[in-house]
Amino acid sequence: MYSYFAGCKIPYYLPEYGSSTLALLDRFDIELQDLEFKCCGYPVRDIDFQSFLLAGARNLALAEQQNTDIVTPCKCCFGSLKFVEYYLKQRESVFDQINAMLKPEGLQWQGRTQVKHLLTILHEDVGIDALRDAVVNPLAGIKVATHTGCHALRPGNVTMYDNPFVPGLFDDLVAVTGAESVFWSMSTECCGNPQWDKNRKIALKQMQRKLLNARQAGADFVCTACTYCQMHFEQNSQSDLIPLASDQFVPAILISQLIGLSIGIDEETLGIGEDIRNKIMVRA
């Protein structure tokens, strides 16, 4: 049993990530429960650091109260909650201060709750063999550039997610679908989304560099497991601010959609759009 942390963005801006994640975990009998979680705190981290810590600790305390760990498909939420967990464990006085602020709500975090990303659950709890055995629609012929995302990889001593320099977990999961995970030199670089509200031209140029690199590597899709990365590739790649040439565009697909397609989950539940459907039909 895990407490499911959807985060703020997925329900409103990327519901297909939520529906495909829930369908995928249900297929493998991973039990989830909903709690009254609030924002992970990331939006206020650079404005009010104490509020950031309090928001994260409250979520950790809610899950601990139910004796469950947290699973989230959002790598920003994952990275934020992991940072709060790490930071408080390293600073006893701050730990006690935050718990004192949680006390009026009847909450306390003792440090037992663990936070895991969706991909870790698939890789470790479900397992590569079980995933491979469930495949009924192999995606042979599809080439994928895996985009791990910054918040899960860095800082590696905080997130403990994968090797931050040579990550392999994501590629393992793509391989079970029958698709090919291509090597591309910019795979671990930022997508550019954090700059979107500060300098949109820089954000777009970074994304375009990545898409061109993925295209040059032969990728049919950029595959993401991060809410912000997917939104950036999906929604901002067609911006008129810096038009993207047709030979640079590579569509983005969520890892939950890719695996979901391979194990026979219906396209409506996965939120598969026409652009993805058509490309997979041509390539597979």
CATH classification of the domain holding 263 = 3.40.50.11810
Let me know whether 155 and 102 are in one domain: no
Let me know whether 165 and 112 are in one domain: no
- In degrees rounded to 5, what are phi and psi of residue 66? -95, 5
Q: Where is the domain boundary, 117, 145, 178?
A: 117
| pLDDT score at 277 | 84
Sheet of 69-72: strand order equals 32-33, 2-4, 69-72, 115-117
Let me know whether 43 and 174 are in one domain: no
Let me know whether 102 and 163 are in one domain: no
Let me know whether 150 and 267 are in one domain: yes
d(CA 23, CA 198): 36
Per the structure, how many domains does the chain have?
2
Tokens of 107: 């909450």
Let me know whether 176 and 205 are in one domain: yes
Q: Could you tell me if 214 and 232 are in contact, meaning their C-beta atoms sit under 8 angstroms apart?
A: no
d(CA 198, CA 190): 15
| pLDDT score at 20 | 99
Written as one string, the DSSP assignment of the chain is -EEE--TTHHHHH-HHHHHHHHHHHHHTT--EE-------SGGGTTT-HHHHHHHHHHHHHHHHHTT-EEEES-HHHHHHHHHHHHHHHH-HHHHHHHHHHHGGGT----S---EEEHHHIIIIIIIHHHHHHH-SS--TT-EEEEE--HHHHSSHHHH--S-SSS--HHHHHHHHTT-EE---TTTTS--SGGGTTT-HHHHHHHHHHHHHHHHHTT-SEEEE--HHHHHHHHHSTT-SSSPPPTTT---EEEHHHHHHHHTT--HHHHT--HHHHHHHHHH-
Let me know whether 139 and 248 are in one domain: yes
Domain interval for residue 260: 127-283
| pLDDT score at 276 | 86
- Please, what sign has the CA dihedral across residues 106, 33, 121, 229? negative
Residue 122 buriedness (CB in 10 A; 0-12 / 13-18 / 19+)? buried
| pLDDT score at 284 | 56
pLDDT in tens, 193-248: 999 989 999 999 999 999 999 999 999 999 999 999 999 999 888 777 777 777 77
- The answer to whether residue 183 sits within a structural domain is yes
Domain containing 10 — which CATH number? 1.20.1050.140
Q: Could you tell me if 14 and 231 are in contact, meaning their C-beta atoms sit under 8 angstroms apart?
A: yes
- The answer to whether residue 122 sits within a structural domain is no
- The answer to whether residue 65 sits within a structural domain is yes
User: Could you say which residues of the chain have pLDDT below 70?
Assistant: 282-284
Residue with tokens 């409250």, as numbered in its chain: 58
| pLDDT score at 216 | 95
d(CA 155, CA 244): 32
Residue with tokens 């760990």, as numbered in its chain: 69
d(CA 264, CA 134): 9
Let me know whether 195 and 256 are in one domain: yes
d(CA 193, CA 179): 27
Q: Where is the domain boundary, 117, 141, 174?
A: 117
Q: Where is the domain boundary, 95, 117, 139?
A: 117
| pLDDT score at 106 | 97
| pLDDT score at 135 | 99
Let me know whether 25 and 72 are in one domain: yes
d(CA 177, CA 258): 7
Let me know whether 276 and 136 are in one domain: yes
